[in-house]
Amino acid sequence: MNRQALAVRTGKWILLLFLLLAFAAAGLKLLYPFPYRKEIDRWASEYSIDSSLVAALIRTESHFRPHAVSSAGAIGLMQIMPATGEWIAGKLNVEAFTATNLNDPGTNIRFGAWYLGYLIDRFGDIDTALIAYNAGPRNAERWRENADEMFPETTEYVSRAMEAARAYRLLYTLPVIGPFFRALPL
């Protein structure tokens, strides 16, 4: 095979490899989207928590659907209960709060990020904070103090949230992969 044919063949393999990597990256970006990144970064930074963890929590809670409502009545991206939202509004000095404010992505992310930071500070670790976020602080305290077995869905929730947080960190913040991944137009 002459040099020109070898160069053409090598070029085709490189193009094929690039296309395969681009399709794989696009697939991963569909699995781990990052809408509302500006708001997530803003409030995660404000409350000194990892934006990858906030994105993972949103993915786990609502799959980035801002008007999601759970069967228990939790509202919005971060699935905040109206009573918890009212309590958070008081802590943040937000006046004229109503539960419908939780449908606003910016408000929901702000309140959810603050609450997650509060739970991390209160319990001292992310796993217990996620348990409390999912099942309530009283259950988290009871399970921690009495070594009782958690709800199976809470165990699964923590596992999914932590796995998603690792994926977000890997895909969006690593020096080489992150900029490439963020540049994908999905």
Residue 85 has pLDDT above 90, yes or no: yes
46 classed as catalytic: no
Q: Are residues 74 and 6 in the same domain?
A: no
Res 170: pLDDT: 86
Residue 46 has pLDDT above 70, yes or no: yes
Q: Are residues 62 and 146 in the same domain?
A: yes
Q: Are residues 21 and 57 in the same domain?
A: no
Res 110: pLDDT: 98
- Residue 54: band (very low, low, confident or very high) from pLDDT cuts 50, 70, 90: very high
CATH number at residue 42: 1.10.530.10
Q: Are residues 39 and 106 in the same domain?
A: yes
* Candidates 61, 95, 141, 156; catalytic one: 61
Q: Are residues 125 and 177 in the same domain?
A: yes
Residue 132 lies in domain: 35-183
**Three-state SS string across the chain, please?**
CCHHHHHHHHHHHHHHHHHHHHHHHHHHHHHCCCCCHHHHHHHHHHCCCCHHHHHHHHHHHHCCCCCCECCCCCECCCCECHHHHHHHHHHCCCCCCCHHHHHCHHHHHHHHHHHHHHHHHHHCCHHHHHHHHHHCHHHHHHHHHHCCCCCHHHHHHHHHHHHHHHHHHHHHHCCCHHHHHHHCCC
